[in-house]
Chains A and B, each alone.
Chain A
Amino acid sequence: AQRVTQPEKLLSVFKGAPVELKCNYSYSGSPELFWYVQYSRQRLQLLLRHISRESIKGFTADLNKGETSFHLKKPFAQEEDSAMYYCALADSGGGADGLTFGKGTHLIIQP
Chain B
Amino acid sequence: EAGVAQSPRYKIIEKRQSVAFWCNPISGHATLYWYQQILGQGPKLLIQFQNNGVVDDSQLPKDRFSAERLKGVDSTLKIQPAKLEDSAVYLCASSSNRNTGELFFGEGSRLTVL
Show the binding face of A for B, using Cβ within 8 Å.
Answer: 4, 6, 9, 32, 34, 43-46, 49, 51, 86, 88, 90-91, 94-104
Tell me which residues from 59 to 111 in chain B have a Cβ below 8 Å from any Cβ of chain A. Answer: 91, 93, 95, 99-108
Please give me the residue from chain A that is nearest to B43 by CB atom: A101
Chain A-chain B contacts (Cβ-Cβ < 8 Å), number: 63
With A44-B43, A45-B105, A102-B42 as contacts: A97 and B91 at CB distance below 8 Å: no
Would A100 and B45 count as touching, CB distance under 8 A? yes
Query: B56 interface residue, CB < 8 Å from A?
Result: yes
Query: B16 interface residue, CB < 8 Å from A?
Result: no
Show the binding face of B for A, using Cβ within 8 Å.
Answer: 3-4, 31, 33, 40-45, 48, 55-56, 91, 93, 95, 99-108
Would A96 and B105 count as touching, CB distance under 8 A? no
Cα distance A9–B42 in the bound complex, in angstroms: 11
Would A98 and B105 count as touching, CB distance under 8 A? no
Would A86 and B42 count as touching, CB distance under 8 A? yes
**For residue B108, which residues in chain A have a CB less than 8 angstroms away from its CB?**
43
Cα distance A99–B45 in the bound complex, in angstroms: 7
Would B95 and A96 count as touching, CB distance under 8 A? yes
Would B42 and A96 count as touching, CB distance under 8 A? no
Would B102 and A46 count as touching, CB distance under 8 A? yes
Cα distance A74–B43 in the bound complex, in angstroms: 24
**For residue A86, which residues in chain B have a CB less than 8 angstroms away from its CB?**
42-43
**Given A44, A46, A98, A102, which contacts B45 in the complex, CB threshold below 8 Å?**
A98
| B93: min CB distance to chain A, Å | 8
**For residue A4, which residues in chain B have a CB less than 8 angstroms away from its CB?**
42
With A44-B91, A86-B42 as contacts: A96 and B107 at CB distance below 8 Å: no
Would B44 and A98 count as touching, CB distance under 8 A? no
**Given B42, B100, B104, which contacts A95 in the complex, CB threshold below 8 Å?**
B100
